[in-house]
Amino acid sequence: MPSPHVYRRIYVWELPVRAFHWINALAIATLGVTGLIIGKPFSVSYAQEASFQYWFGTVRFIHFTAGYVFLFNMLVRVYWGFAGNQYARWSTFIPTTKAAFQEIVEVLKIDILQVSVKGRIHIGHNRLAGLIYFITTFIFFFQALTGFALYGPTSHSILGKLAAWVVPLMGSEAVVRQWHHAMLWFYVLFVMVHVYLVFYHDYVEGRGTTSSMVGGWKFEREDQLDH
Amino acid sequence: MSGGKHTLWEVMREKGYSRRDFMQFCSFAAAAAGLGPNASAAVAKAFEKKARPPVIWLHFQECTCCSESFIRASHPIVADVLLDAISLDYTETLQAAAGHQAEKCKSDTLKAYAGKYILLVEGSVPTKADGVYCTIGGRTAEDILQEAAAGAAAIVAWGNCASYGCVQNAKPNPTGATPIHELISKPVINVPGCPPIADVMVGVVTHILMFGRIPDLDDQGRPKEFYSRRVHDTCYRRPNYDAGLFVETFDDDNARKGFCLYKMGCRGPVTYNACSVTKWNQGTSYPIQSGHGCIGCSENKFWDNGPFYRHLPSFPGFGIESTADSVGVTLGAVAAVGVAAHAISTNIRKRKLIHDQVAEDVKNTPENEKVDR
Ligand code: SF4
Ligand code: SF4
């Protein structure tokens, strides 16, 4: 029987990070579902005349509203990448040191090849996850940019005007729409793998990954803490 | 016919039009150019006093549908007056002269009215293989275009061909068909559409004649007065769109009721044109009114965003029938299988680790058994 390890509580995810995560999750879920409906509306006709129903308009309204929430939430998180604790900072997302790249290789070995390694894996985002989130940020902004470019002509939104240059750059609105729609599937895949990995890490490592998304606390073996 | 000498009014009088016809034409022109009814007096004044600038109309890679559209403008006098009387010094389709005579007529105008004439271009210009795919009188389209553009007071690109390249420019674009504005450094007025609406064409030309300058253009060079709204924004079926009432097949009950054609591939939501306002053929109808979705004929690369009868275009590189959704569903299934496989392999390969972890539970450890109460 192995002797029990002493674990320490570490406050990893500060409140703004947790709030960002769940607002983001909610916004993405809303945007994804409404986006799929806008792309391929089903038939709901509870009225015979157009003047008595407005469901498709409502779905679009929800999509646009969620789009605003998604963008501004994202911007707050970008700011928090400069103001937050060591686990929230951009430096954990962008690998610059040799050690960071080493950790990426080690994470790949542990989680994909599933062999054991000696190195210590970050208690916050592991370096590979951090890098993937960093790349995801660009896709998030791509989605926001194409979304507002499409939304712009239908509103007086300043954001729409700021994104207007995207249309001539990509060719036409039909093309922007195509890519905006295709990227929706990135989120579907991302969410599938992301949610799985949360459970996987919690299951294999027992460091409280799942509950940390709510409370902010993770657990680390005392002998593995760096002081 | 030589341009620049007479005013429009003089020409009309010569052709036997009455003052009343002239005034009617002026109010139509004012309306076409987006001016209010009070403006027709000013328009009449301009057409009475200002000498008409000569017009050169060039034809390159095109099907002449723009010309065909133009002569069907709402007001009968418009085509007559503008085509015949605005002093069209050169247009292959309609000019009386031919051969050397025609070419001479053009080069005379280019010289005599340098900096004054209006250049209207129909068709795209091929640039591959040194431009051999379109030559007139032994010269390449690009050569002719550059010469004519040099001294033009205003340049108008008619239709999708001249504005964006249209079908010639669709993948793989074998002739290197190029839109006019990509070859010329001067501002070009793009009047896209396949063809553009006659009344829009007249509106643009009238604007130039009346004000002596080009109309306000958007960031794609299109006159704002005609191209600032999507077909969808002013479509009379729009309430059905917002209500989620869609035609599901072309012969269903919904089609009879005139529901929205979005699910039949209508490109109205991504197409900038005046169709649903001005309509076609003297305001008779427009595609959506006749039960057919918009195919986006005034949009850049609209041939490459097909098929026309499906809302989501085919996804590039995945075959004709694959939309972003079908690719997405496949990838989703692959991800699900991958995740499941990973979960199984985790339980096998990391069994010891997981076992050790469970063994760390306080109740299971021997030391703790002693202190356990
Ligand atoms: S028919 Fe086309 S343009 Fe008209 S509301 Fe429907 S989608 Fe829009
Ligand atoms: S409805 Fe659409 S496809 Fe039809 S003429 Fe107008 S812009 Fe072109």
What average pLDDT does the segment A178-207 reach? Answer: 90
What average pLDDT does the segment B144-173 reach? Answer: 94
Distance from CA of A164 to the nearest CA of B (A): 9
DSSP strand pairing (B55-59 vs B88-91):
parallel
Calpha distance B95→B1 (Å, rounded): 10
CATH code: domain of residue B36: 3.40.50.700
> Which tokens sit at A227?
């002081």
Judge if B84 and B214 occupy the same domain: yes
In a domain, A109, yes or no: yes
Q: Which residue has the tokens 């450890």?
A: B365
Count of structural domains within chain A: 1
In a domain, B357, yes or no: no
Strand runs (DSSP E) across B38-187, as ranges? 55-59, 88-91, 118-122, 125-126, 135-136, 139-140, 154-158, 177-178
pLDDT in tens, A118-158: 666 778 888 888 899 999 999 999 999 999 999 988 888 89
Residue B28 reports pLDDT greater than 50: yes
CB-side neighbour CA atoms (13 Å) of B10: 10
For residue B361, which residues of chain A lie inside 8 Å, CB to CB?
4
In a domain, A1, yes or no: no
Calpha distance A21→B58 (Å, rounded): 59
The reply to whether residue A165 touches residue B346, judged by beta carbons under 8 angstroms, is: no
- Return the DSSP state at B372: -
Distance from CA of A90 to the nearest CA of B (A): 28
Judge if B300 and B171 occupy the same domain: no
The reply to whether residue A43 touches residue B248, judged by beta carbons under 8 angstroms, is: yes
Distance from CA of B172 to the nearest CA of A (A): 16
The pLDDT value recorded for residue B265 is 92
Q: Tell me if chain A has a CB within 8 Å of the CB of B333.
A: no
Judge if B273 and B252 occupy the same domain: yes
Final residue in a domain of this structure, among B271, B288, B305: B305
Contacts 24+ apart (CB under 8 A), B345-352: B345/A114, B346/A114, B346/A200, B346/A203, B346/A204, B349/A114, B349/A115, B350/A114, B350/A204
Positive or negative torsion for Cα A205, A208, A211, A216: negative
Cβ(B235)–Cβ(B267) below 8 Å: no
The pLDDT value recorded for residue B373 is 45
Judge if B185 and B265 occupy the same domain: no
Calpha distance B57→A133 (Å, rounded): 56
The pLDDT value recorded for residue A3 is 62
Q: Tell me if chain A has a CB within 8 Å of the CB of B353.
A: yes
Radius of gyration of chain A (CA): 21
Q: Which of B229, B238, B248, B275 to mutate for ligand 1's pocket (most ligand atoms within 8 Å of CB)?
A: B238
In a domain, A104, yes or no: yes
Q: Which residue has the higher pLDDT, A11 or B4?
A: A11
Give Cα separations from B273 to A14, A33, A54, A226, B30 (angstroms).
51, 31, 26, 65, 20
pLDDT in tens, B99-156: 888 888 888 888 888 888 889 999 999 999 999 999 988 899 999 999 999 999 999 9
Nearest CA in chain A to B361: A4
Helix/strand/coil for B197: coil
The reply to whether residue B299 touches residue A172, judged by beta carbons under 8 angstroms, is: yes
Q: Which of B302, B313, B353 sits opposite A204 (nearest CB)?
A: B353
| pLDDT level of residue B2 (50, 70, 90 thresholds) | very low
Give residue A16's domain range.
7-41+50-224
What average pLDDT does the segment B183-204 reach? Answer: 92
In a domain, A186, yes or no: yes
The pLDDT value recorded for residue A226 is 63
Alpha helices (H) in A52-172, listed in sequence order: 55-83, 98-107, 127-151, 158-162, 166-170
CATH code: domain of residue A175: 1.20.950.20
The pLDDT value recorded for residue B240 is 93
The pLDDT value recorded for residue A227 is 46
In a domain, B19, yes or no: yes
In a domain, B369, yes or no: no
Calpha distance B181→B324 (Å, rounded): 32
Give residue B26's domain range.
8-227
End-to-end CA distance of chain A: 28
Radius of gyration of chain B (CA): 30
Which of the given ranges, A29-38, B89-98, B198-207, has the highest pLDDT on average?
A: A29-38
The reply to whether residue B324 touches residue A184, judged by beta carbons under 8 angstroms, is: yes
In a domain, B350, yes or no: no
> Read out DSSP for B43-82?
HHHHHHHSBPPPEEEEE-BS-SHHHHHHTT-SSHHHHIII
Judge if B72 and B128 occupy the same domain: yes
End-to-end CA distance of chain B: 114
| pLDDT level of residue B318 (50, 70, 90 thresholds) | low
Residue A89 reports pLDDT greater than 50: yes
The reply to whether residue A56 touches residue B349, judged by beta carbons under 8 angstroms, is: no
B47: left (phi over 0), alpha (psi -120 to 50) or beta: alpha
What average pLDDT does the segment A162-178 reach? Answer: 91
Percent of chain A clearing pLDDT 90 (strictly above): 48
Nearest CA in chain A to B219: A168
Cβ(B28)–Cβ(B75) below 8 Å: yes
Residues with CB under 6 A from ligand 1: B 231-232, 235, 237-238, 241, 260-262, 266, 268-269, 288, 293-294
Q: Is the CB of B198 under 6 A from ligand 2?
A: no
Cβ(A64)–Cβ(A151) below 8 Å: yes
In a domain, B300, yes or no: yes
pLDDT in tens, A37-64: 998 898 877 777 888 889 999 999 999 9
In a domain, A142, yes or no: yes
In a domain, B255, yes or no: yes
Final residue in a domain of this structure, among B288, B305, B322: B305
Judge if B242 and B113 occupy the same domain: no
In a domain, B48, yes or no: yes
Percent of chain B clearing pLDDT 90 (strictly above): 42
> Read out DSSP for B9-36?
HHHHHHTT--HHHHHHHHHHHHHHTT--
The pLDDT value recorded for residue B3 is 47
